[in-house]
Amino acid sequence: MPIATFKIKTPAKINLFLNIRGQRPDGYHELCMVMQAIALFDELTIAPNLDAASRGDIRVTLEPNDLGRLLGKTSARDNLLVRAYRAFWEAIKLPPLGLHVHLNKQIPVQAGLGGGSSDAAAMLLALNHLSHAHLSLEELQRIGASVGSDVPFFLTGGTALVAGRGEQIQPLAIANPYSASHPSLAWLIVKPRDLGISTQAAYQAVREASAYRQMTPEYLLLALQKSSQSQSGSNNLAHYLQNDFESVLFPQYPALEAMANQLRDLGVERPLLSGSGPSMAGLLALNPASQKAVTSVFPPDRFQVFWTHPHLSGPVQV
């Protein structure tokens, strides 16, 4: 089957609302979340690999930037992209099409920004197209969930209400969440270079503290809706942002608490941990003065800093 090379940009995410309700019999945690795709992208270049030796398998090469070098040290088995490739062919029970995927990693790894899951979702969408399998979104979500809890969200991206262990997705039709009325507002993302937090360890900390509760994001959803209709500003929104990991991770990692305070000093009303961290997000006006202030508080040798905005879908072909 002749296929041409094509490129996909696939976004990062932040969690506007993350409530951990309890542990399930399968060991995972029951969640209620609002996830938001943001315009910080990994780029995948996908080409057929007709090399006899590697036919019917995937070869992943990494753009030799800092992140690529870091990721190069992890084994292929741990790479969600490779796991998504294998899970897809296993599900459709057809001989795999050999592929060469070149990954230009821009989303920090082990950061709470979902980069690996986003790459996996992009892989599933690409394979669905290339194989002509025409699996439904539900089928892709099921395969995605077998690869990782955050993968199903990225198949549709945008803004979504997410339940279960991450596999139940309800996309929300919010035209231009919380920036329509404030076009200069950006989501500032800050990730300390020397801190990585394992998701598994973060859930374990929550479990040990029994930090479970039942919350619903209805006020956040109302605020998002109003903001997208230009009826109110972001200030309203700040009150309803929530991440249950904060109460256990802030005491354990003083660096996170310090970052939250620095973000507040810069004018972020509600600094928000993303996923299980250590990235933090905050709404801030984007202008030369704020950029200068952020760079001096979060210098590039110690922090990765991104000014982003909501991305209204999942992976996109470029």
- In the complex, the smallest distance separating the C-beta of residue 178 from ligand C5P, rounded to whole angstroms, is 26
17 binds ligand C5P (CB under 6 A): no
Binding span for ligand C5P by CB under 6 A among 7-15, 131-139, 145-153, 278-286: 145-153
- Determine if residue 22 is left, alpha or beta; phi over 0 gives left, psi from -120 to 50 gives alpha, anything else beta: left
210 binds ligand C5P (CB under 6 A): no
141 binds ligand C5P (CB under 6 A): no
- Pick the closer one to ligand C5P by CB: 98 or 112: 112
- Pick the closer one to ligand C5P by CB: 111 or 237: 111
Given candidates 108, 115, 148, 177, which one binds ligand C5P under the rule CB under 6 A?
148
278 cis-preceded (ω within 30 degrees of 0): yes
Q: Has 150 been annotated as catalytic?
A: yes
Given candidates 13, 29, 83, 105, which one binds ligand C5P under the rule CB under 6 A?
29
Residues 287-306 that bind ligand C5P (CB under 6 A): none
Among 13, 42, 119, 244, the one annotated catalytic: 13
How many residues line the site for ligand C5P (CB under 6 A)? Answer: 11
Binding span for ligand C5P by CB under 6 A among 25-33, 125-133, 251-259, 298-306: 25-33
203 binds ligand C5P (CB under 6 A): yes
For residues 54 and 99, the answer to whether their CB atoms sit within 8 Å is no
- Pick the closer one to ligand C5P by CB: 7 or 165: 165
Binding span for ligand C5P by CB under 6 A among 28-36, 55-63, 171-179, 212-220: 28-36
Amino acid identity of residue 95, one-letter, is P
- In the complex, the smallest distance separating the C-beta of residue 207 from ligand C5P, rounded to whole angstroms, is 8
Among 9, 150, 191, 244, the one annotated catalytic: 150
DSSP string, the chain: -----EEEEEEEEEEEEEEEEEE-TTS-EEEEEEEEEEEEEEEEEEEE---GGGTTSEEEEE-SSHHHHHHTTS-GGG-HHHHHHHHHHHHHTSPPPPEEEEEE--SPSSSSS-HHHHHHHHHHHHHHHHTT----HHHHHHHHHHH-TTHHHHHH-SEEEEEETTTEEEEE--SSTTTSS-TTEEEEEEEETT----HHHHHHHHHHHT-------HHHHHHHHHHHTTSS-HHHHHTT-EETTHHHHHHH-HHHHHHHHHHHHHT-SS-EE-TTSS-EEEEEE-SHHHHHHHHHHS-TTTEEEEEE-B--SS-EE-
Binding span for ligand C5P by CB under 6 A among 24-32, 40-48, 173-181, 286-294: 24-32
10 Å Cβ neighbour count for 216? 11
28 binds ligand C5P (CB under 6 A): yes
Given candidates 31, 188, 190, 273, which one binds ligand C5P under the rule CB under 6 A?
31
Binding span for ligand C5P by CB under 6 A among 144-152, 173-181, 208-216, 232-240: 144-152
The residue among 283, 211, 212 whose CA lies nearest residue 241 is: 283
Given candidates 199, 247, 290, 291, which one binds ligand C5P under the rule CB under 6 A?
199
The residue among 79, 67, 72, 8 whose CA lies nearest residue 43 is: 8
Residues 260-289 that bind ligand C5P (CB under 6 A): none
Show which residues are catalytic.
Answer: 13, 150
> For binding to ligand C5P (CB under 6 A), which residues are involved?
28-29, 31, 148-150, 165-166, 199-200, 203
